[in-house]
Structure formats: C-alpha cells, structure tokens
Structure 1
Amino acid sequence: MPPASTDARADLVALCERGIDWRLGQQPVWGNEAPLRDAAVLVLFGVLDSVPAGASNAVARDLDVLLQRRAATLSSHAGQIAFPGGRLEPTDSDAAAGALREAVEETGLDPRGVDVLGTLTPFPVPVSNHLVTPVPAWWSRPSEVAAVDSAETVETFRVPVADLVDPANRAMTEHRFAGEVYRSPAFAVGGRVVWGFTARVLSRMFEDLGWAVEWDERKVVEP
C-alpha cells in the first residue's frame, strides 16, 4: 500500500533535518566569480484536491506539489515551470519568510494554512546569478491560488507527485551553458515539461526521500 500523505509530511521533515548535498549526482555549473544573490522558493506539498494521480507507485496518489509557469517575457528562466519564490528582501527575517512572502504575492495563497517544515541547503543557480534556498512546506489548510501578476506568472497549478515519479514521465534534457552541453533531469507530465533548477530539486528530493522509481535516463525531451 502506498504511504499516506501524512507519512510524506514526516518524510519531508526528516529530509530537512538531514539536509542535501546538491553536488552529489548532479551536473551543475558551480563556478561563478560574481557574488550570488540570495533567493528562496517554497516547495509546497499537500493534499490539494480530490483528484488523484493517474500513476500508482510507492507515493500516495493524493500527494501533490504546487508549481507555476513563469511569464515568457521575464529576463531569466522565461517560460519555465517553477516553484513560487524569488529574491530575498531586507525585510525578510530568513529564507523561509522570504519564500512564503513571495508565494503569497505570486499565487495569493493564505499563509495561515502553510506549515514550513524547514529549509534545505542553498542551491547555486549561476545562469541567473542566485543562491536559492528550497523551503519544503506542507499545505495543512489549502486555499485558492491563481497567477496574481501576469507579468511574472501565467498559470499556477498542482501536480500529483506519483505522476512526477512515474518512469513514463521521467526524462533528461540537454542544454548549452557557457559553451558546454549539460544534461539534467526533467519531468514531462500533462503536456508540460519541468526542467532546470525546479526539476533538479524535485529529482534529488525524490531520491533522498525514497520516493523515486527507476527510470530510463537515455530518454531525452526538449525543454
């Protein structure tokens, strides 16, 4: 039997306590002489609605994660699917506060229904010159969400985790950065392709959480 979503919450808390070394098993570009700007994203899991996943595996079929698509007109990561979040402001007390503030501004969610579970090790993203802290959270009291500012976000949606870890929906992307071709994990679900930073974080989290299912890394999709 797949674990209950409440078990998933306990898994996420334990992951925050253990931490993640993002360099292991990854192929990012770590070198960058320019100072990286601090940012944070909210990795929000929960039972978001009554629509179960189409896939059936080791993850509860009612477990979801909140994602959004960035506007195509943005200067960095344009059109990509991403977590809610952004650059930290001087008024943010810490990365968790910044991630939650950004999520409220971008999706309109009610922060009173979000339980922050901890933070993960900051992840360097040289292509946009940011040092991003993933902030796992649990949606204990879901609220309505939408793309609040169309200049930044064009859609907000939930994705069943069981569909993300389904081997049929896993692939790699190949893209060029600083003159070299890099391969990174991707998820192709419901006509959308999740790749880049967001896919790296999800892929590594699923592996460390024990939610990942073996998949064919020879499969390549266009980002």
Structure 2
Amino acid sequence: MRLADRLRAALEEGRGFTLPDDDARDPRIVGDIVLAPAAVLVAITDRAEPGLILTERSAALRKHAGQIAFPGGRVDAHDTDEVAGALREAQEEIALPPSQVEVVGTFDRYPTFTGFDIVPVLGVIPPDLPLRAQEDEVADWFEVPLAYALDPANRIRREVEFGGSTRHYYEIFWEERRIWGITAAILANLSRRLGHDRLAA
C-alpha cells in the first residue's frame, strides 16, 4: 500500500478517539479569545523510512524567532480553504511546489495563545526535492525521521508556571535541535491519531 494511503487509513481510524482536554489547545489560553484562521503543512517524505520536513524560523522575526516550526501561517482571504493556505505558505517559505504535495487530510485544529486557529494539513511529498529556505522568514529547513518524531518515548512533557497556574508543554530533541511548544503539541496529536499513543475511546 502506498504511504499516502497508509497514512490516510490510519488517520481515519484514529478519528474515533478523543484527545486529552489539556492537549486539544494551547494550555496558556484562558476563556474565549478571538482566533484568526491559520494552517501548517505536515509534509512527509515518501521514503522506505519516511521523514518529516520542519523549518527553523529566522532569528530576525518578531515572534517565535529561531523556533522550529512547520511551514505555514495565516490563511489569507484569497485562499480557498486551510489546505490552500498551507500549500501556499509552504511554497513561499521553502519553495515546495503545491503540485508535489499529495494531501492526505487534516487533523486536530490547535488554537493558540497568540490568537490563531491552526489547522494541520498532512501531505506526502517526493523525497529529495530541491527545497530552499526563504531567508526573510526561514533560516533553514531539515528532515527528521517520522518514526522518531512520533515516538512517545522521544517526547518529554514539561511543566511551567504561567498566569498563576501550572501549564505543560512538550519537547522533542533531534540532534542539535529543540522541537517544542505548538510544533511538538501538533506532533503529539498526530502521533495519537496515527496510533502511536493510546487514546481514550
């Protein structure tokens, strides 16, 4: 079975389960906030051992400088939907042609404290595309083995005091890189949807 079909079947099977409440959105959110639509592309390379494409944000950015992220951003008014927004952003940030992405589907929206309602778009791409970072936004891009990124054993749950309450976040360390915050939370949710973690029925 093709990788895209395997991922699609696993994602569909995982839709019947419920995420833990404290992993369904940014734990810093208190009450209702206004959210702007956003989308990220979770691009999986079609290899015998699939990889996951991630970016390192430019150190010059005003928000989340230097952090590890998925290609993505705000969904613009001219985007037809979140999928179109994720594909456009990936093309702008790492020169990934939308025609090279086989969209598998979307999974758990992730509302953030910074005011975005992020829709992760799962897609499969050919390996070894000539991707290049758009320097204004992206310092670099890299590929991490998908199995490593989704393995619960590689995900560390941390706690921090924020606004008088204890909040948690996840960290994943890959070589010299720290994957954490929203990116790690989305990976944790994908891991559960694809059956790497147990979910409550």
Structures share fold, TM-score greater than 0.5: yes
Distance in 1 between residues matched to 2:66 and 2:54, nearest whole Å: 13
The residue type equivalent to 1:201 in the other structure is I
Distance in 1 between residues matched to 2:59 and 2:158, nearest whole Å: 19
Which of 169, 178, 188 is matched with 1:193 structurally?
178
Which of 2, 6, 10 is matched with 2:5 structurally?
10
1:9-29 Cα shifts (integer Å, max 9, x gaps): 334323157547555452723
TM-fit CA distance, 1:198: 0.7
1:146 paired residue number: 132
Q: Does 1:45 align with 2:44?
A: yes
Alpha carbons of structure 1 residues 70 and 159: separation in structure 2 relative to 1, 3 Å: same
1:38-66 Cα shifts (integer Å, max 9, x gaps): 10000111236xxxxxxxxxxx6x11111
Which stretch has the larger CA shift, 151-160 or 202-211?
202-211
1:203-223 Cα shifts (integer Å, max 9, x gaps): 12112212359xxxxxxxxxx
Query: Which stretches in structure 2 are left out of the alignment for 5+ residues?
Result: none
TM-fit CA distance, 1:32: 4.7
| Alignment map for 1:67-106 (pairs within 5 Å) | 67-106=54-93
1:221 paired residue number: none
Q: Secondary structure at the match of 1:77?
A: coil
1:123 paired residue number: 110
| 8 A Cα contact 2:46 2:127, kept in partner | no
2:99 paired residue number: 112
Alpha carbons of structure 1 residues 63 and 11: separation in structure 2 relative to 1, 3 Å: same
TM-fit CA distance, 1:33: 4.1
Alpha carbons of structure 1 residues 34 and 168: separation in structure 2 relative to 1, 3 Å: closer
Distance in 1 between residues matched to 2:71 and 2:109, nearest whole Å: 16
TM-fit CA distance, 1:145: 0.9
TM-fit CA distance, 1:113: 1.2
Alpha carbons of structure 1 residues 90 and 155: separation in structure 2 relative to 1, 3 Å: same
TM-fit CA distance, 1:186: 1.6
| 8 A Cα contact 1:110 1:143, kept in partner | no
Name the TM-score, length of structure 2 as normaliser.
0.83
Distance in 1 between residues matched to 2:169 and 2:191, nearest whole Å: 15
| 8 A Cα contact 1:69 1:79, kept in partner | yes
RMSD: 2.6
Structure with the larger strand share: 2
| 8 A Cα contact 2:151 2:196, kept in partner | no
Query: Which stretches in structure 1 are left out of the alignment for 5+ residues?
Result: 49-59, 214-223
Name the TM-score, length of structure 1 as normaliser.
0.76
Which stretch has the larger CA shift, 14-23 or 66-75?
14-23
**4+ residue stretches of structure 1 with deviation over 6 A?**
none
Q: Secondary structure at the match of 1:118?
A: strand
1:178 paired residue number: 163
| 8 A Cα contact 1:16 1:117, kept in partner | no
Q: Secondary structure at the match of 1:183?
A: strand
TM-fit CA distance, 1:119: 1.6
